[in-house]
Chain A
Amino acid sequence: MDKVLSTLISVGVTVALSLALWVGANVLFDQARNNWRRFNAVAGAVVGFVLLSILHGNRLLVAVGPGPDAVGTLAAFVWPAALGAATFGSTAWYLSGVDGPRHRLIAGIATGTVVGVVVGALLRSAYRPGFDLAALAIWTAALSGLGALISTRRGRPAVHGALVGAALGSLLGGFGSAELGAGNMVGAIAGATFPAAAFGARIGLTNNADERGRARIDSGSRAYIFLVPSLFFITAALVVPTIRTIYLSFLDDRSENWVGIGNYTDVFTSKTSFDISNWPDIFTSRLFYLGTAMLIAGLAVAISTKKRDGRAVELGGPSIAPLAIAAGLLVFATFSVLRGTIMNNLWWVFTVTVVSTALGLAIAVLADNTRFESVAKALIFMPMAISLVGASIIWRFMFIARDSSKNQTGVLNSAWVGLGRLSTGRGIPTLLASVALGIVFLALAVKVARLLTTGKLTSLPIPMFALFLVGWAWVRFVGLVGDGLGGVVISSDGEVIAKPVLFVQEQPFNSVWLMLILIWIQTGFAMVILSAAIKAVPAELLEAAQVDGATESQVFWRVVLPQIATTIGVVVTTLIVLVMKVFDIVKVVTNGNFGTDVLANDFFAQAFQFANRGRGAALAVILFLSVLPVMYFNIRKMQQEDT
C-alpha cells in the first residue's frame, strides 16, 4: 500500500509540476509584449536559478552553509541557486530598461564577472583546472575566429560571434584540456570569469527589443514552449546516451584506454556470440533431409506449373506451400546447428516474425465475419496484456520437468508423459486412440492414392508430408518402432518409465520453446493489425472479383493480399525490431544458459553484471545498428500508408 501511495504521489507531483511549468512558461511569455521589464526579470531569474542549480546539483560547487539538519541542508543547497536567480534577474531587469549601448555593455560584463567569480570560488577543488595554456589559447582563438566568421556571413558585427566563440573556446580549452583537480582557486576563478564575462559582454551588445521585437518574442515563443521540453528529454535520455555508448564501445572494460574496434572484433571472434564451427552437421540432420525432400517436391511442382500455365511460383499456387515448408525446415536445420548469441538472435527473428505474422494473418482471415469472431480475437489478443516477465514465468511452470519417479507437475510434460503411458497401455483407451490414428492415416493414404491416380501431382506434396508425419506417429504409437509415442521409455525388465522432456535444458530446441512464449504474445498483435487491414479492403473490389468468377482462395491471394501488403510490411518490421531486442524471456527462463543466450541478455550481463563496459557498449551498438535499417524501413512504410 505504501508503494502504491508513493507511486501515486510521485505521478501526481510530476504531472502537476509539468503542468505548472508549461502554464508558467506560457504566462511568462504573455508578459513579453506589454510588461517587457517584468518578463525580462522573471526570465533572467529562471535562467540563473536553473544554471546554478545544475552546477550545484551535480556537485561541481562546494556546499557552504549551515548543516546538518534538513533545513540547513536545504538552505546550503538553495542559496547559490537563489543568488543566481537574483543576479541574472536584476541584470535582465536593468538591461530591459536601458537603451544606451555603453551602459548595457558595462552591465553585461559586470554581471558575467560576478557570476564567474562566485562560481570559480565555489568550484570544488577536484574540478579546479590546471591549465594547459597552449590548448586554451588555441581553442579560444579558433572558436572566436569561427564565431566571427559565422557572424560576418550572417551580416552581423564580427565581434558578436567572436565573443561567443571565445567564451565557448575558453571553456572547452580551459576545462576540457586541463587536468582537473590540479589547479588552485585563482585559476578556477580566472577560468570561470573569462567565459562568463565574454557571454555577459555578448548579451550587453544586444539592443533593447522594440515593440515589434517584443511581439515577435511573444508569438514566436509558443512553438518552443511545446517543443523544448520534449527535445530536452530526447537529448538527455536518448541522444546523449547513444553518443556516449558509441564512444564507450571504443574504450576498454574500465572505460580508460582506447581500444579501437577491439570490442567489436572480440564479439565476432568469441565463440559465445558467433560459433559456426559445427556447420557440417547441418547436412546430416533429419530436418535437413525432410527439408531437402520438400524442396525437391516443391521444385518439381513449380516446374510442372511453369509448363502448364507459365508461372513457376505464384501466391496461392500449388508450389508455394511445399517451398515454404522446405524453407522453414532448412532454416531450422541451419540454426539448430550454428551457435552463439548472434545466431540465436537471427533464429529468434526468423521464427517469431514468420510464425506470428502467418498465424495472425490466418486467424484474421479465418475468423473474419464468423459468429465467434470477437470472442476468438479477444482470447488471442489477451496475452498481449501480460508482461513479458509474467508470461515467461507462466511458461516456465508449463515447461517444468520432475524426476521420472514423481508425477509431472508441468502441463506440457504431464501431457507428454500421459501420451506415452497411453501408447504403452493395454486398455480400451489405447486401442481407441490407435484405431483413430489409423483411420486418419488411411484417409490420408486414400487421398494420396486418389491424387496419384487422377494425375493431380501438383497437389501431392502437402498430403504426402502429412501422411508421412501421421504414419510416423502411428507406428510409434502402436509400438512397431521404438518404445511408444510420448515421454516414456521401457526398461530392460519391461517396466514403463516416464521420460520427461527438459524443455528448457535440452539444446538446441530449447530456444524454440522460448520463442513460443513470444509467439504466443505477439500473434495477437499481428492478428489485430491485419484484421483491421482486411476489413478496410474496399467491398467493391471483392464484389468485382466475385462477379468475374474468382474463387474464395483466388480472391484472398490476388485481391486481399496485395491490398494489405503494406500493412504486412509494417507488422513484419515492427516484429523484427521487437524480436531483435528480446531480453526478458531469456533472462527469466534461462538467463542465457544452455545455449539460449541472445544479444540483449549478453549485453546486460557484460555491462552491468561483469562491468565490462566496453564489451557491453559494443553489443548495444551492434543491436542498435541492426535495428536501425528496419526501423527506417518501418517508419517509411508507415508514412507511405498515411499518404
Chain B
Amino acid sequence: MSKHRMLRFFSVLFAVALIASACGNDSSGGDDAAPSDAAPGDEAPSDEAPSELAGTTVTVTGPERDESEANAIQIALDIFADANDMTITYTGDADWEANINTQIEGGNPPDISIFPQPGKLADFARDGSVVPLSDAAAAATAANWTEAWTVFGNVDGVQYGVPVKTDLKSLVWYQPDRFAANGYEVPTTFDDLLALTDQMIADGNTPWCVGIESGQATGWTFTDWVEDLMLRTAGAEVYDQWVSHEIPFNDSRVVDAMTTVLDLWNTEGAVFASGGSIAATAFQDNGEPLVAGDCMMHRQASFYAAFFPDGTAFADGSEGAVDVFYFPSIKGDSPVLGAGTLAAGFNDNPATMAVLEYFSTPEYAEARQVAQTEGKDGGLSGFLSAAIGQDTSVYQPLEQSFLEILANAEVVRFDASDLMPADVGAGTFWTEGTSAVNGDITAQEAADAIEASWPS
C-alpha cells in the first residue's frame, strides 16, 4: 500500500492545476472524505429516513446506453429520487469497460456502477474499490432475489453486488408456423435437436442461423454456445470449476464442448451465414433471415427480440410470429445459462446504499419494465428481471414464458466469459474462439492458447 500511495502522492503533485480545479468541485459533496475526516456537524440524528437522503446526489453509470434502456433506468430511479427529495443521475457509457478503470484509477469513480460482468465486480471488490453492501441493502437483496442470482454479487462471502437485470440465454428462436408446415416438432432433448437438424438438412432446409461478428466483442456468440454445451455435457459442477480455473481451460471436457459446437456449425448445409461466413456475419443479422425462412432456428438470448425486423409478432399465434423454445438439456437437469447486470457502490454513503437497496426491489424492476416497454412503443422491452414478487402482468406473453423458464430452472449459471478474468472472458476466449470458428486453428489449439493467456 505504502509504495502505491507514495507514487500517487507524487503524481498528483505533478498534476495539472487547471484540470484539478476544474473537476475538483463537481462531485466533492461528501463522496470522498473518510469517516474520520467528516465535520462534526454531519452526524445529525437520523430518526426520519427521508430527511437523511434529502438533497443528496447519487451518480450511477453503466454500459447500457441505448436510448430506451438508459431512459427506462433513469425513470425507474427518478421514482425513488422524487420520493426522497434527492437526485439520482444515470449515465450510460459506450466505453464503460475502459472508462470505469480510468475513473477508479483517477480517484473519481461514480457512486454506483452497473456491472455486466461479475468477474470485474469481484476484481474491484478484492482491491477495495467497490465497498460491501450495508446490512440493510444486503438484507433487501437476499429477500428480493434467490440465491442463484445473489451469489454472482458475492465475493469471498461478502455481498457486494445487487442483481438488477436478468438475461436468459438458453433459448432457441423459431417460427411455429414454419415448423408446423414442415411437420417439425419442438425438440425436448438434445438428441432430438441434433436429429431435427439432420432432418432439416435432409429436407433441403437450413437449420441454423449463426453469426458471431459483434465489432469489438466479436466471438461472444460462440462463447455462449460453448457455455451452454458445457453446462449440458459436463454439468454445473465442472462448469464452476472451469470458471474458477480449478480445471485448465484446455481440459478435454471444454475442448469437447468447443468441438461439438464447431462440428455442428461446420456440418455441410447446417448454417446459413448471411455475411458469407459465420465469423463475418454480425450477430444482429440473424433475425431477418429467420423471419425470411433462410434458416429455421437461431439460438440467442432473451434480449434478441429487439433484433427482429420491425413488425414481427411474438408468440401470439399469428402467421409468421416468432417464438422460442428452451435449448434442450442432455441429462434432464434443465440447466439455464443466464447473464445480467449487478449494481455495486464505490462508497458507503447512506444515499448510495439506499439507492442500491432500491435497485434490488421488485418495484425497481417493474418501473423499469413499464418504462422500457413504453420506450419501445409497446413492443418487447428486452428487459427481464428475476426479482421475487414482481407483478408479472407488466410483462408480455413471450416475456412471461422467459420468466417461467427461469422459475423452472433447477440449475442457473452465469455466462462464464463474464465471470472469467477480462483477459480471457473479454479477450482470448473471444479472439481465439473467433479464429477457431474461422477455421484458422482447431478447438484444441484455441483452448491451449486461451489456457496460456489465463492470468497467473
Which positions in A face B, CB cutoff 8 Å? 50, 53-54, 56-60, 62-64, 67-69, 73-74, 76-77, 124-127, 175-182, 236, 240, 244, 253-256, 271, 400-406, 413, 500, 502, 504-505, 507, 587, 591-595, 605, 608-612
Contact A50 B36 (CB under 8 A): no
Residue B201 CB within 8 A of the other chain: no
Q: Which of B27-35, B317-325, B338-346 contacts A (4 or more CB under 8 A)?
A: B27-35
- Chain A residue nearest in CB terms to B425: A610
Contacts of A73 in B (CB 8 A): 25, 28-29
| B301–chain A nearest beta-carbon distance, Å | 21
Among A56, A127, A256, A507, contact of B440 (Cβ-Cβ < 8 Å): A507
Q: B237 contacts the other chain (Cβ, under 8 Å)?
A: no
In the complex, which residue of chain B has the Cβ closest to the Cβ of A81? B21
Residues of A with C-beta under 8 A to B435 = 593-595
Name the one of B9, B21, B55 contacting A175, with C-beta atoms under 8 angstroms.
Answer: B9
Distance in angstroms from A82 CB to nearest chain B CB is 13
The listed residue (A177, A180, A271) touching B449 by CB distance below 8 A is A271
The docked-state distance in angstroms from the alpha carbon of A127 to that of B449 is: 44
Q: A124-B33, A594-B438 are in contact. List 9 more A-B contacts (CB 8 A).
A: A53-B21, A62-B33, A77-B28, A124-B37, A127-B9, A180-B9, A182-B2, A401-B277, A592-B431
Q: What is the bound-complex CA distance between A587 and B280, given in angstroms? A: 15
Q: What are the interface flags for B9-41 relative to A under an 8 Å C-beta threshold, 1 for contact and 0 otherwise?
A: 111111111001100110011101110110100
Residues on B with C-beta less than 8 A from A59 are 12, 24, 28, 32, 107
Answer yes or no: B171 CB below 8 A from chain A CBs. Answer: no
Give me the 8 closest cross-chain CB pairs, A-B, nearest first.
Answer: A57-B20, A401-B276, A179-B2, A58-B12, A57-B24, A608-B98, A180-B5, A610-B423
Residues of B within 8 A of A507 (CB): 440
Q: Collect the chain B residues with CB atoms within 8 Å of residue A504's CB.
A: 280
Min distance, Cβ B32 to any Cβ of chain A, angstroms: 6
Instruction: Write the chain B residue with the least CB distance to A404.
Output: B276
A175 contacts across to B, CB distance below 8 A: 6, 9
B56 contacts the other chain (Cβ, under 8 Å)? yes
Categorize the interface residue count of chain B: 35 or more
- Residues of B contacting A76 with CB < 8 Å? 28
Pairs across A and B, CB under 8 Å, 17 listed:
A50-B17, A58-B20, A59-B107, A68-B55, A124-B33, A179-B2, A240-B11, A253-B455, A402-B276, A404-B276, A587-B216, A591-B215, A593-B431, A594-B435, A605-B427, A608-B98, A609-B427
**Chain A residues closer than 8 Å to B25, beta-carbon distance:** 73-74, 77
Establish whether residues A505 and B218, one from each chain, have CB atoms under 8 Å apart when the complex forms. no
Q: How distant is the Cα of A31 from the Cα of B414 in the complex, in angstroms? A: 70
Residues of B within 8 A of A610 (CB): 421-423, 426-427
Minimum Cβ distance to chain A for residue B106 (Å): 10
Q: Chain A residues near B449 (CB, 8 Å)?
A: 271
| Chain A CB within 8 A of B434 CB | yes
Main SS of the interface on chain B? helix
Which residue of the partner chain B has the closest CB to A257?
B3
Contact across chains for B21 and A505 when beta carbons are under 8 A apart = no
A59 CA to B434 CA in the complex, in Å? 45
With both beta carbons as reference points, the residue of chain A lying nearest to B107 in the complex is identified as A59
Cross-interface CB contact of A594 among B6, B107, B434, B455, cutoff 8 Å? B434
| A299 CB → nearest B CB, Å | 37
- List the A side residues contacting B274 at CB < 8 Å: 402-403, 406
Inter-chain CA distance A76–B25, complex, in Å, is: 9
> CA–CA, A178 to B455, complex, Å?
32
**Min CB distance, B11 to chain A, in Å?**
7
Q: Are B422 and A609 in contact (CB under 8 A)?
A: yes
Chain A residues with Cβ below 8 Å from B421 are 610
* Docked CA distance A64–B422 (Å): 40
Partner of B2, one of A63, A180, A612: A180
Q: Is B275 an interface residue (CB 8 A)?
A: yes
On whether the beta carbons of B29 and A67 are closer than 8 Å, the reply is yes
Chain A contacts for B5, CB-based, 8 A: 126-127, 179-181
B24 touches A56 (CB 8 A): yes
Check: B273 CB closer than 8 A to any chain A CB.
Answer: yes
> Is B32 in contact with A240, judged by CB distance below 8 angstroms?
no
Instruction: Verify if B219 is at the interface (C-beta below 8 Å from A).
Output: yes
CB-contact partner of A67 in B30, B101, B107, B438, under 8 A: B30
**What is the CB-to-nearest-CB distance from A96 to chain B, in angstroms, rounded to a whole number?**
25
Give chain A residues whose Cβ lies under 8 Å from the Cβ of B218. 591, 593
- Give the nearest-CB partner of A258 in chain B: B3
Contacts of B13 in A (CB 8 A): 54, 58
A54 pairs with B219, CB closer than 8 A:
no
Task: Give Cα A180–Cα B10 distance, bound, in whole angstroms.
Answer: 12
Tell me the nearest residue of chain A to B426, going by C-beta.
A609
Pairwise interchain contact B276-A126, C-beta atoms closer than 8 A: no
List of B residues within 8 angstroms of A608 by Cβ: 98, 101-102
Q: Is the CB of B275 within 8 A of A402?
A: yes
Separation of A73 and B57 alpha carbons in the complex (Å): 13
Complex: how many Å from CA A58 to CA B276? 54
Contacts of B423 in A (CB 8 A): 610, 612
**CA of A175 to CA of B11, assembled, Å:** 13
> Whole-angstrom distance from the CB of A243 to the nearest CB of chain B?
10
Across-interface contacts of A587 in B (CB, < 8 A): 216
CA–CA, A447 and B14, complex, Å: 72
Interface centre among B9, B218, B422, B426 (most CB of A within 10 A): B9
B279 is contacted by which of A50, A402, A594 (Cβ under 8 Å)? A594
Least CB distance from A60 to B in Å reads 7
Closest to A254 in B: B127
Give Cα A64 to B33, complex, Å. Answer: 10
Nearest opposing residue in chain B for A64, CB measure: B39
What is the CB-to-nearest-CB distance from A607 to chain B, in angstroms, rounded to a whole number?
Answer: 9
B451 CB within 8 Å of chain A = no
- B123: nearest chain-A partner, CB-CB: A611
Contact assessment for B29 and A68 in the assembled complex, using a CB-CB cutoff below 8 Å: yes
A240 shortest CB reach to chain B, Å: 5
Within the complex, what minimum Cβ distance (angstroms) separates A615 from chain B? 9
Q: Is B152 an interface residue (CB 8 A)?
A: no
| Contact present for B15 and A236 (CB under 8 Å) | yes
Q: How far is the CA of A605 from the CA of B424 in the complex (A)?
A: 12
**A508: shortest Cβ distance to chain B, in Å?**
10
CA distance A240 to B29 in the complex (A): 30
In this assembly, does B97 line the interface, its C-beta being within 8 Å of a C-beta of chain A?
A: yes
CB-based contact B280/A53 at 8 Å: no
Q: What residues of chain A lie closer than 8 Å to B37, measured between beta carbons? A: 62, 124-125
> In the complex, what distance in Å separates the CA atom of A63 from the CA atom of B37?
9
Residues of A within 8 A of B6 (CB): 175-178, 180
Interface centre among A63, A271, A595 (most CB of B within 10 A): A63
Q: Nearest chain-A residue to B38 (Cβ)? A: A62
Taking A59-B24, A125-B34, A180-B5 as contacts, is the C-beta distance between A244 and B422 under 8 angstroms? no
Taken residue by residue from 120 to 160, chain B's Cβ proximity to chain A (1 for < 8 Å, 0 otherwise) reads as: 00010001000000000000000000000000000000000
**Interfacial chain B residues near A605, Cβ < 8 Å:** 427
0/1 interface trace, chain B 84-117, chain A, CB 8 Å (1 if under): 0000000000000110011000010000000000
In the complex, chain B residues whose CB is within 8 Å of the CB of A60? 9, 12
Chain A neighbourhood of B426, CB < 8 A:
609-610
Q: Does residue B272 face the partner (Cβ distance < 8 Å to A)?
A: yes
Among A50, A254, A404, A505, the residue within 8 A (CB) of B280 is: A505
Evaluate contact between A54 and B275: CB separation under 8 angstroms: no
> CA separation between A406 and B274, bound complex, in Å?
8
Least Cβ–Cβ distance between B201 and chain A, in angstroms: 15
B219's nearest neighbour on chain A, judged by CB, is: A593
Q: A58-B20, A77-B25, A593-B431 are in contact. Are A502 and B276 (CB under 8 A)?
A: yes
Q: In the complex, A403 Cα to B277 Cα: how many Å?
A: 7
B-chain residues with CB within 8 Å of residue A62 when the two chains form the complex: 33, 37
Q: Which of B297-348 contact A (CB under 8 A)?
A: none
CA distance A255 to B2 in the complex (A): 13
In angstroms, Cα B127 to Cα A253, docked, is: 13
CA distance A73 to B39 in the complex (A): 14
Q: Quick one: closest B residue to A590, CB to CB?
A: B218
Are A63 and B280 in contact (CB-based, < 8 A)?
Answer: no
Scan residues 144-183 of chain B and give those whose CB is less than 8 A from a CB of chain A. Answer: none
In the docked arrangement, what's the CA distance between A605 and B431, Å?
Answer: 12
